[in-house]
Amino acid sequence: MSATRRFPLPLIGAFLALYFIWGSTYLFIRIGVESWPPLLMAGIRFVTAGSLLYGFLRWRGVPAPTWQQWKSAGAIGFLLLSCGNGGVTLAEHIGVASGVAALAVATVPLFALLFAMLWGHRNTRLEWAGVALGLVGIGLLNLGSNLQASPMGAALILFAAAAWAFGSIWSRQLSLPAGPMASAAQMLMGGVVLLLGSALSGERMSQWPTPAGWGALAYLVVFGSILAFSAYGYLLKHVRPAAATSYAYVNPAVAVMLGIVFAGEHIGAPECLAMAVIIGAVVLIGLPQWRKPQQALTR
What are the domain boundaries of the chain? Answer: 11-297
Whether 116 and 242 have beta carbons less than 8 Å apart is answered as: no
pLDDT higher at 265 or 202? 202
- Classify residue 44 as exposed, middle or buried by CB count within 10 Å of its CB (0-12, 13-18, 19+): buried
Q: What is the overall mean pLDDT for the chain? A: 84
pLDDT of residue 100: 79
pLDDT of residue 198: 96
Question: Which letter, b or e, does each residue of 245-254 get, where b requires 16 or more Cβ atoms within 10 Å of its Cβ?
Answer: bbbbbbbbbb
pLDDT of residue 3: 46
Whether 72 and 127 have beta carbons less than 8 Å apart is answered as: no
Whether 242 and 289 have beta carbons less than 8 Å apart is answered as: yes
3-state secondary structure of 191: helix
pLDDT of residue 291: 55
Q: Quick: pLDDT tens for 137-147.
A: 877 777 766 66
Q: Closest by alpha carbon to 14, among 241, 178, 247? A: 247
Question: What's the whole-model pTM score?
Answer: 0.82
- Classify residue 179 as exposed, middle or buried by CB count within 10 Å of its CB (0-12, 13-18, 19+): middle
pLDDT of residue 252: 79
Q: Closest by alpha carbon to 138, among 149, 147, 129? A: 147
Taking the C-alpha atoms of residue 299 and residue 293, their distance in angstroms, rounded to an integer, is 10
